[in-house]
Amino acid sequence: MILVVDASVAVMWFIKEVGHDKALALAEHGNILIAPDLIFPEVGNVLRRKVRQGLISETQASMAVQRLPDAFRRIVPCADLIDNAFSMASQLDHSVYDALYLACAMVQPDGKLVTVDEKFRSKATAAGYGEKILNLDAAYALVTTSQENDNG
């Protein structure tokens, strides 16, 4: 399965918080993970904030940043997505940052964006992008069902 994961999901791979196990399952079930190159500074920013808040150590954050690129099969340059992302952001009245992830999913055959940003997912679904965007629970259910079907 081709999954575009946004920074909200990628951070969960490294931080034990609600959704951690489900986020890890997306990376561990043989899925093809893709993201726009924006994911690196976004995840880095979130990890830096968690260090400042005392939720993780500098060493943990540094290790996560080093390991992040290895999670992805493909990284798509934002320059290839910006035109579509800007149009989507205008249509959805939402940030271009988030729209870049949706634009990335749109150019992947059978690709789906996975996010924990319910506000963005709701806007995208209402605008007709519902088949291309999933929340973490739905993505986890899809991945585990697919895995069971492959094994059974």
Q: How confident is the model at residue 109 (pLDDT cuts 50, 70, 90)?
A: confident
Q: What pLDDT score was predicted for residue 35?
A: 98
pLDDT class for 148, splitting at 50, 70, 90? low
Spans of all domains in the chain: 2-37+71-147
Distance CA 4, CA 65 (A): 18
* pLDDT at position 131: 95
pTM of the predicted model as reported, rounded to 2 decimal places: 0.92
Order the strands of the 112-115 sheet from edge to edge: 74-76, 32-36, 2-5, 112-115, 133-135
pLDDT for position 117: 96
| The CATH number of the domain covering residues in 2-37+71-147 | 3.40.50.1010
